[in-house]
Chain A
Amino acid sequence: MARTWDSFSEGDALPELIKTPGVSDLVKYSAGGGDFNPLHHDYAFPQAKAIGSIIVHGRFKYACLGELVSNWLDHGGRIENIACQYRGMDLPDQTMTCGGVVKRKWEEDGKKLAELELFVENSSGKNTTPGTARVVFK
């Protein structure tokens, strides 16, 4: 059901999205987005060898935060802004928990808005990808 303005409050948590991308999933993302940087699929690539592994695309994690917000919003509104920073590397076959919380809910110039704080937490509990999103409701 499309999310409505009346159905949430500041402080509410978004339902978490759990991802454990394997190499095949990263290859699928590369094909979908057009980023074929070998750092995300080729263990023999010099940068991957220096790091000790291939790594999950930052943009894959960004897209997962997009999916988290899209699932919560369920087309009841539009994302006006979504941002994140890649603070830590994530490795394939590790569980990433994507989540968020409603930081602020307000009306401005007749628009109904919400600000969300987002995260991708790795299996050690570290937030590797802090983010934010602003959504406007229909």
Chain B
Amino acid sequence: MAEEIVITEEMRALIGIESTPWAHEVTTTSVRAFARGVGYTDLVYYDVEAAQAAGYRSLPCPPTYLGTPIFIPGQSSETFSGPKEDGPTLEHGLPNLLDGGTETEYLADICAGDTLHVSSSIADLSIREGKSTGKMLIVTRETRCINQNGDLVARQRGQAIFY
């Protein structure tokens, strides 16, 4: 358990630096895989005809799904599937990670056939005391998703907890 966590000037200097965009594909297969993983029984997320009958171009992204990062061996993270190096790294030395929270704002529908160019930046760094985790570093990250037409279709804000 970390006795003390210090947010250094070097760490603060990384706030606001935009990562290199990485492509996330939304395909009929990826939408089905996500819907199946959550446990949806709604055919709109599986059957293109049902999706079109409900007014969508193709299978829509279920809420909270923003495509699957394209996997390239060596370039992608084996654990989280996103790019391994997409910007400056926060050197904090804390081994454990928990998710703190997520907010997604949608500006348009996202459907199978779309490719999202996803980039993110650190919005805030703070320190909190957890009951079972001791001192924790809270990293708030903002993510932007721009589709193949150049439209901002979603924004996400999430808190990663390191301890």
Nearest Cβ on chain A to B32's Cβ, whole angstroms: 8
Q: Which residues of A contact B56 (CB under 8 A)?
A: 75
Contact segment of A4-12, A57-65, A100-108, A119-127? A57-65
Nearest Cβ on chain A to B150's Cβ, whole angstroms: 21
**A63 to B33 Cα, complex, angstroms:** 13
Q: Is B44 an interface residue (CB 8 A)?
A: yes
Q: Is A78 an interface residue (CB 8 A)?
A: yes
Residue of A with least CB distance to B67 = A34
Q: Which residues of A contact B82 (CB under 8 A)?
A: 34
**A35 to B71 Cα, complex, angstroms:** 12
Dominant secondary structure of chain A at its interface with chain B: helix
How many residues of chain B are within 8 Å of chain A by beta carbon? 38
Q: Which residues of B contact A64 (CB under 8 A)?
A: 38-39
Total inter-chain residue pairs, C-beta < 8 Å: 116
A-side interface size class = 35 or more
Are A82 and B79 within 8 A (Cβ)?
no
Within 8 A of A (CB), among B49-103: 54-56, 62-65, 68-69, 71, 78-82, 95-103
**Which A residues form the contact surface with B (CB < 8 A)?**
2, 19, 25, 28-39, 46-47, 50, 57-60, 62-67, 69-71, 74-75, 78-86
Q: Give 4 closest A-B pairs by Cβ, nearest first.
A: A32-B37, A66-B63, A34-B81, A83-B103
